[in-house]
């Protein structure tokens, strides 16, 4: 590009490692090959530029068309200082590199001008409704491109709940962090009709890291740029956890892809890489004994359930469940809601009633609970399986959560428990049948002609690869 290569361009280019620069050059060259004819005329040297048509041809079906257009608008918004040629419908390489640099390597201040143009082609403040549409399109594009590139790590659109409602729920959750100039958070219609300037949106992008992370993944996977280079941040690598235990069971999880991404981001970093199904009422039966048998001593896990009114909610247990009449767990535990709204409720510090699991006792409550107190839990599943409650007037003392179920006392429709992170080695040993560790007992059974009743209850063993 000769003298068109400004010092700003070189500063942005220097942010990338040599192999990353090669990656970006390769993508732009491929775009040039898709562009048809482009270039400046009037006797000047032909300038290498890319059109929207070329961008769409390159993307094909990797991204929804609307997101491709928004990315193009973001690139066009890059102001090449010192140029007097006026706005162009073509993207120059400088704009492409600066766009990549700001969105993949930049801070909130560097990203904001591009994001504003992606929200609206017109300069100036934007309406909450426009931010809502941008956020929903971003989340939808994220799920779309991860599915298209086969990067869902064993999850797919068939073994999870329909993601359309999950997109709206996650967008609503992220938008709830928008603040007006006076610091107030508008809700409902007030949010959609409110006007937000660049400073308030920059503050939002800074406080809601998912926007930058989602944009980064959409760009990396959409353009297939930098996605194979091992310098990615943990929040990108662990965006979607690997899925184990659901393959071949014909089961559709109570989770949708957006809620998996959101809940996973609240787990301790060392647990974000893998989820493994421990229990499903649709697979293992509606039995409290079965539930206990599948979740005790299995390490940290997530419980999710659906009531007969369609509300979906649950909790994260940071420590292994143990059957005992005392509270257990620590302040990493939390409760959450998936439908009709998506939210996470963390510990208040008011008490340490994080987790409770008891069975077969006369004097203490029998069931599984999280938060609150005996007979007044934030989340309770009774040992008389199928019954439960979520009591919070006005809020659960342990987690500050509202009532999670549609009715205070609910009837269970379905339930799942997922181990998160690596299941402890001790849990694998403890899960063995008594007949595995006591050959005399096994021999005695065989002498009397009886079969091993526990044999049919064993879980299928999966290999270490993700269930793609």
For the stretch 383-397, pLDDT in tens is 999 999 999 989 999
pTM over 0.95: no
Least confident of 18-32, 291-305, 381-395, 443-457: 443-457
For the stretch 134-157, pLDDT in tens is 999 999 999 999 999 999 999 999
Question: How many other CB atoms are found less than 10 A from the CB of residue 28?
Answer: 20
Instruction: Taking residues 301-309, report their average pLDDT.
Output: 97
Q: State residue 461's pLDDT score.
A: 43
Residue 11: pLDDT band (50, 70, 90) is confident
- How far apart, in whole angstroms, are the C-alpha atoms of residue 341 and residue 152? 23
289 compared with 458, residue with greater pLDDT: 289
349: left (phi over 0), alpha (psi -120 to 50) or beta: left
Residues 342 and 169: beta-carbon distance below 8 Å: yes
Q: State residue 35's pLDDT score.
A: 55
Instruction: Taking residues 154-183, report their average pLDDT.
Output: 94
Percentage above 90 pLDDT, the chain: 68
- How far apart, in whole angstroms, are the C-alpha atoms of residue 378 and residue 372? 5
Average pLDDT, rounded, for the chain? 86
Instruction: Taking residues 300-323, report their average pLDDT.
Output: 97
Residue 60 φ then ψ, to 5°:
50, -115
Q: State residue 413's pLDDT score.
A: 97
Q: State residue 465's pLDDT score.
A: 46
82: left (phi over 0), alpha (psi -120 to 50) or beta: left
Is pLDDT at 334 greater than 70 in this prediction? yes
Going through 359-440 in order, the beta strands assigned E by DSSP cover 367-373, 376-382, 387-389, 409-420
Is pLDDT at 93 greater than 50 in this prediction? yes
Q: State residue 85's pLDDT score.
A: 43
For the stretch 202-216, pLDDT in tens is 999 999 999 999 999
Q: Which candidate, 250, 21, 229, 236, places its Cα nearest to that of 158?
A: 250
Instruction: Taking residues 215-228, report their average pLDDT.
Output: 86
Instruction: Taking residues 441-458, report their average pLDDT.
Output: 46
Q: State residue 43's pLDDT score.
A: 41
- How far apart, in whole angstroms, are the C-alpha atoms of residue 154 and residue 242? 6
Q: State residue 247's pLDDT score.
A: 86
Q: State residue 1's pLDDT score.
A: 43
Q: State residue 447's pLDDT score.
A: 53
Which pair of structure tokens corresponds to residue 413? 């429709």
Q: Which candidate, 105, 100, 102, places its Cα nearest to that of 28?
A: 100
Q: State residue 424's pLDDT score.
A: 84
Q: State residue 434's pLDDT score.
A: 40
Instruction: Taking residues 250-261, report their average pLDDT.
Output: 96
Is pLDDT at 163 greater than 70 in this prediction? yes
For the stretch 352-367, pLDDT in tens is 999 999 998 888 899 9
Any idea which residue has 């839990």 for tokens? 377
Residue 190: pLDDT band (50, 70, 90) is very high
């Amino acid at each position: 590009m000769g003298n068109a290569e400004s010092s700003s361009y070189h500063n942005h280019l220097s942010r990338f490692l040599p192999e990353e620069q090669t990656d970006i050059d390769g993508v732009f060259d491929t775009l040039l090959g898709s562009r048809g004819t482009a270039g400046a005329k009037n006797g000047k040297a032909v300038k290498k530029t890319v059109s929207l048509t070329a961008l769409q041809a390159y993307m094909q079906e990797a991204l929804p068309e609307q997101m491709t257009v928004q990315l193009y608008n973001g690139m066009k918004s890059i102001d090449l200082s010192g140029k007097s040629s006026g706005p162009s419908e073509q993207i120059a390489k400088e704009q492409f590199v600066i766009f990549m640099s700001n969105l993949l390597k930049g801070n909130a201040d560097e990203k904001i001008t591009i994001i504003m143009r992606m929200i609206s082609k017109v300069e100036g403040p934007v309406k909450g409704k426009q931010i809502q549409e941008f956020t929903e399109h971003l989340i939808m594009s994220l799920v779309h491109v991860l599915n298209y590139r086969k990067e869902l790590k064993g999850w797919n659109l068939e073994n999870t709940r329909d993601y359309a409602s999950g997109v709206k729920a996650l967008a609503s959750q992220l938008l709830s962090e928008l603040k007006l100039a006076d610091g107030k958070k508008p809700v409902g219609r007030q949010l959609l009709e409110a006007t937000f300037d660049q400073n308030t949106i920059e503050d939002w992008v800074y406080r809601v890291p998912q926007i930058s992370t989602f944009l980064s993944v959409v760009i990396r996977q959409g353009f297939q740029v930098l996605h194979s280079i091992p310098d990615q941040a943990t929040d990108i690598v662990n965006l979607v956890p690997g899925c184990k235990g659901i393959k071949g069971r014909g089961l559709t999880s109570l989770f949708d892809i957006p809620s998996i991404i959101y809940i996973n981001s609240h787990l301790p970093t060392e647990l974000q890489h893998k989820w493994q199904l421990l229990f499903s009422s649709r697979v293992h039966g509606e039995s409290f004994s079965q539930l206990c048998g599948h979740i005790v001593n299995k390490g940290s896990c997530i419980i999710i359930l659906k009531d007969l009114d369609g509300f979906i909610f649950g909790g994260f247990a940071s420590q292994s469940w143990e059957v005992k009449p005392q509270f257990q767990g620590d302040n990493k535990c939390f409760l959450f809601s998936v439908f009709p709204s998506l939210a996470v409720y963390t510990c208040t510090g008011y008490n340490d009633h994080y987790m409770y699991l008891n069975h077969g006792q006369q004097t203490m409550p029998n069931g599984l609970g999280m938060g609150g107190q005996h007979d007044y839990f934030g989340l309770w599943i009774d040992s008389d399986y199928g019954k439960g409650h979520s009591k919070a007037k006005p809020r659960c003392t342990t987690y500050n959560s509202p009532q999670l179920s549609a009715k205070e006392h609910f009837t269970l429709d379905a339930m799942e428990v997922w181990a998160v992170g690596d299941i402890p080695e001790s849990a694998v040993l403890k899960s063995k049948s008594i007949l595995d560790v006591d050959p005399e007992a096994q021999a005695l059974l065989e002498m009397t002609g009886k079969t091993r009743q526990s044999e049919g209850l064993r879980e299928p063993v999966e290999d270490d690869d993700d269930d793609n």
